[in-house]
Structure 1
Amino acid sequence: MHIRRAVSTDAEELSSLLNEIILAGGTTALETPLSTAEFADWFIDGEFPLTCHVAEHDLSLVGFQSLSLYGDPPKGFADIATFARMSPRTPGVGSALFPATRAAAGELGLEFINATIRADNVSGLGYYAKMGFETYDRLVQVPLQDGTPVDRIKKRFRIDAGYRATAHS
């Protein structure tokens, strides 16, 4: 698996990957599919994205991970989003992407990476725990578009000062 920074021309393939996940439901807070242009704006080259990495395997993009300032997080924080192709599934995408994202966070001088995960997203909660994220807050009964209340678990990963000083992407 090859990890690299996303570029604008990746937006079409990545929006398709993300829209499949959105339409399947149950794992992302996103509920409305994104156009290619919206995807590029949200994750690659808009006002809020800081960095986005893609995972390539067998000549296709199998996942991506981004850091952004969407929603005006506290100073020193950025939000992470991680998505992996559902079909065909490629094991280890998130684990392969995180070192590049962590290095980028260090280069950006961030103190924390924040992940906000739906409480019913068992695989997402497990992934972020495996990467070393710790729970620090819970948003109770945030309604989905259909009104269904679903808690959101907030986890954060501390970028240690020693790592920030030596990080390279």
Structure 2
Amino acid sequence: MHIRRAVPADAEELCSLLNEIIRTGGTTALETPLLAAEFTNWFIDGEFTLVCHVAEHDGLLAGFQSLSLYGDPPKGFADIATFARTNPKIPGVGSALFPATRAAGEELGFEFINATIRADNVSGLAYYTRMGFEDYDRLVQVPLLDGTPVDRIKKRFKLGTSRHTSSE
């Protein structure tokens, strides 16, 4: 798997990948599909975007991971988002992306990377735990667009540590 920085030309394919995840539901707080221009602004070169990496596998963009300041995180924190293609499912995308994202967070001088995950996103919670993220807060009963309350688990990864030893 090849990891590189995302560029605006990746937006259409990555937006399609993300929109499929959004339409399936249950694993992202995002509930409304994005247009490619919105995707570019949110994840590649927008005001709050810090870095976005993509994983390429057999000619496909298999997934992406971004760091941003979206949502005004606490001082010293960058926020992470990770999305992997569901069709076809390609194992190991998140694990392949994290070292580049972690290095970028360290280079940018952040102390922590924050992940906010829906409590019903079992695979997302497991992924971030495998990467070495630890629970530190919980947002209780955040309503989805349809009004369904779902907790959000906040996990953080302390940069400058070497806890990531497992694979996806």
CA distance in 2, matches of 1:67, 1:92: 19
SS in 1 for 2:31: coil
Q: Which residue of 2 aligns with 1:10?
A: 10
Q: Which residue of 1 aligns with 2:92?
A: 92
How far 1:105 sits from its partner (Å)? 0.3
CA distance in 2, matches of 1:105, 1:76: 10
Q: Which residue of 2 aligns with 1:166?
A: none
Q: Which residue of 1 aligns with 2:34?
A: 34
Q: Which residue of 1 aligns with 2:60?
A: 60
Q: Which runs of 5+ in 1 are unaligned?
A: 163-169
Give the TM-score, by structure 2 length. Answer: 0.95
Q: How many percent of aligned residue pairs carry the same amino acid? A: 81
Cα distance change on mapping 1:3 and 1:141 into 2, 3 Å? same
How far 1:160 sits from its partner (Å)? 1.8
CA distance in 2, matches of 1:104, 1:44: 14
Q: Which residue of 2 aligns with 1:107?
A: 107
CA distance in 2, matches of 1:72, 1:88: 34
What number of residue pairs does the alignment pair up? 162
SS in 1 for 2:114: strand
Q: Which residue of 1 aligns with 2:166?
A: none
Residue identity opposite 1:110 in structure 2: F
SS in 1 for 2:80: strand
Residue identity opposite 1:108 in structure 2: L
Cα distance change on mapping 1:148 and 1:55 into 2, 3 Å? same
CA distance in 2, matches of 1:148, 1:6: 34
Deviation string 1:108-167 (CA, Å, 9 cap, x unpaired) is 0000000000000000000000000000000000000000000000000000289xxxxx
Q: Which runs of 5+ in 2 are unaligned?
A: 163-168
Residue identity opposite 1:118 in structure 2: R
Residue identity opposite 1:92 in structure 2: G
Deviation string 1:71-113 (CA, Å, 9 cap, x unpaired) is 1111110100000000000000000000000000000000000
Q: Which residue of 2 aligns with 1:133?
A: 133
**Alignment RMSD (CA, Å):** 1.0
Cα distance change on mapping 1:97 and 1:161 into 2, 3 Å? closer
Deviation string 1:28-71 (CA, Å, 9 cap, x unpaired) is 00000000000000000010010000000011101000000001
Q: Which residue of 2 aligns with 1:50?
A: 50
